[in-house]
């Protein structure tokens, strides 16, 4: 990389000077803080009502081609909790119509990412995507602040499924002012949406709900899709009509139904995830909320069994045994964490206790070993999800007080296997039969 390009990257992007994990805090506490401070993400830009002066900087290199960025020299951010208001100017889309100073804090980070995208086609698509978000979401006065943030995350997920080459570059960008990575926005969205999720699965007198209406209104595919959706709705109705299940457990079963549907009809998954639910947002955000409930219920999959057979332990062990995971010294640090967890798990078998211990020890470990965030968080626990998702599930259950009643067997023809066993006695491992 040319020295001039490196200097520009340092000025515009730089390394995060703040720590992701800090002494005296915890994952649940940090999640709560990011939730409370989410207002800063969409703050600033042309919504401040002040005129700003911009300076254009262009750098050409053999690696990146020509990169042009604008640097703000005056102006100030609006109050972080005020949300986003419409601005009558700069509402045209297209290259050059929106300046760097027009963007909120999050979008400025997004724009700066473009300098690191080596593929010119992807870089252009990324910048056009940011401009589209600005025009269709930020300038939309009908949306609340939280609705805008939920919509931005939903659109970002869709974009990254197309341009997977920049997944890590985007998601592991650290937003210093917010003390979180871009991927942490997903957690904020889950915390926002869970408060409204019950309203979209509440059945009316005719047996319908907002979720069902959204599924039926999807006309993007064929009649065969509609027929299969009706069968799925019938199965979901049985779950929602049951008085034997707590609301939290209903979401677990609903998630499993959609998982089974996507496994059988994978060609419809993308379409369903993009369905808009009136007054709520995209289906994908509902799906992520129900997944989080499922992951809380199924701690057993991640940390159950003997210490040697525990999926979490096996996942971390495979990591430190893999030479590509880091230097010899770095992998030795991961091994020490595994040995500490193994010793504790050998004498403590209750899954909630194990998860709580892991989350606490992992946080303390990351204070010193922050280099491993990208490596460890992305590790997949077989049959469960990523280690980051396990951490989020614990933070979610701690903050939101997720509670499951003991499932009751209902006569039917379809078995749904569940695996959680909670020390509190609120739920027991079982096989539940649902329609």
Within the chain, which residues score under 70 in pLDDT? 1-18, 46-97, 219-220, 405-435
pLDDT digits (tens, 9 = 90+) for 337-356: 999 999 999 999 999 999 99
| pLDDT (0 to 100) of residue 46 | 63
Q: Are strands 65-72 and 174-175 parallel, antiparallel or unpaired?
A: unpaired
- Total H helices, total E strands in the chain: 18, 10
Whether the pTM exceeds 0.85: the reply is: no
| pLDDT (0 to 100) of residue 404 | 81
d(CA 246, CA 242): 9
Cβ atoms 303, 312 nearer than 8 A: yes
| pLDDT (0 to 100) of residue 401 | 79
| pLDDT (0 to 100) of residue 221 | 72
pLDDT digits (tens, 9 = 90+) for 87-122: 333 333 344 468 899 999 999 999 999 999 999 999
Cβ burial, residue 20 (10 Å; 0-12/13-18/19+): middle
| pLDDT (0 to 100) of residue 10 | 34
d(CA 277, CA 321): 45
Beta carbons within 10 angstroms of residue 335's beta carbon: 15
Q: What is the DSSP string of 377-397?
A: HTPEETTTEEHHHHHHHHHHH
Cβ-proximal residues to 435 (8 Å cutoff; 6+ apart), any chain: 234, 235, 238, 239, 410, 412, 413, 414
The 3-state DSSP class for residue 69 equals strand
Helix (H) or strand (E) holding 196: helix 184-200
| pLDDT (0 to 100) of residue 18 | 59
- Sign of the alpha-carbon dihedral angle for 370, 371, 374, 376: negative
Tokens 């059945």 found at: 203
| pLDDT (0 to 100) of residue 97 | 65
pLDDT digits (tens, 9 = 90+) for 45-56: 765 333 343 434
Tokens 């998601």 found at: 171
Residue 329 Cα distances to 288, 325, 339, 340, angstroms: 36, 11, 15, 17
| pLDDT (0 to 100) of residue 298 | 98
Domain boundaries, the chain: 3-20+39-182, 194-298+402-434, 300-383
Alpha helical stretches, state H, 242-350: 247-264, 269-273, 283-297, 299-303, 311-321, 328-347
d(CA 344, CA 307): 9
């Amino acid at each position: 990389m040319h020295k001039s390009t490196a200097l520009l990257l340092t000025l515009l992007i730089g390394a995060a000077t703040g720590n992701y994990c800090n002494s005296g805090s915890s994952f649940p506490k940090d999640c709560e803080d990011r939730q409370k401070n989410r207002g800063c993400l969409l703050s600033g830009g042309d919504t401040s009502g002040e005129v700003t002066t911009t300076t254009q900087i262009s750098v050409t290199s053999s690696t990146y081609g020509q990169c042009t960025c604008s640097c703000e020299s005056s102006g100030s951010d609006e109050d972080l909790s005020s949300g986003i208001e419409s601005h009558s100017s700069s509402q045209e889309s297209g290259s050059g119509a929106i300046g760097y100073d027009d963007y909120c804090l999050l979008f400025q980070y997004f724009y700066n990412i473009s300098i690191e995208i080596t593929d010119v086609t992807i870089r252009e698509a990324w910048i056009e995507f940011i401009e589209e978000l600005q025009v269709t979401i930020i300038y939309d006065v009908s949306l609340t602040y939280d609705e805008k943030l939920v919509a931005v995350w939903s659109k970002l997920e869709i974009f990254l499924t197309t341009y997977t080459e920049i997944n890590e570059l985007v998601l592991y960008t650290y937003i210093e002012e917010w003390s979180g990575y871009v991927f942490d926005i997903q957690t904020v969205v889950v915390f926002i949406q869970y408060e409204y999720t019950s309203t979209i699965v509440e059945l009316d007198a005719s047996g319908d709900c907002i979720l069902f209406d959204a599924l039926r209104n999807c006309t993007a595919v064929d009649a065969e899709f509609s027929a299969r959706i009706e069968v799925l709705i019938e199965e979901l109705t049985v779950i929602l009509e049951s008085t034997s299940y707590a609301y939290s457990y209903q979401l677990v079963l609903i998630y499993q139904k959609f998982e089974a549907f996507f496994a059988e009809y994978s060609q419809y998954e993308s379409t369903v995830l993009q369905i808009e639910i009136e007054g709520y947002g995209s289906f994908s955000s509902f799906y992520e909320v129900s997944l989080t409930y499922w992951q809380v219920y199924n701690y057993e999959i991640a940390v159950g069994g003997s210490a040697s057979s525990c999926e979490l332990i096996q996942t971390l062990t495979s990591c430190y045994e893999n030479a590509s995971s880091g230097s010899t010294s770095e992998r030795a640090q991961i091994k020490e964490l595994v040995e500490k967890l193994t010793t504790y798990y050998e004498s403590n078998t209750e899954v909630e206790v194990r998860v709580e211990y892991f989350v606490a020890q992992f946080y303390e470990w990351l204070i010193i070993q922050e280099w491993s965030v990208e490596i460890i968080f992305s590790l997949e626990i077989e049959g469960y999800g990523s280690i980051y998702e396990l951490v989020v599930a614990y933070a979610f259950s701690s903050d939101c007080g997720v509670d499951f009643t003991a499932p009751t067997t209902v006569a039917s023809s379809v078995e749904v296997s569940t695996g959680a066993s909670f020390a509190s006695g609120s739920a027991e491992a079982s096989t539940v039969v649902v329609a």
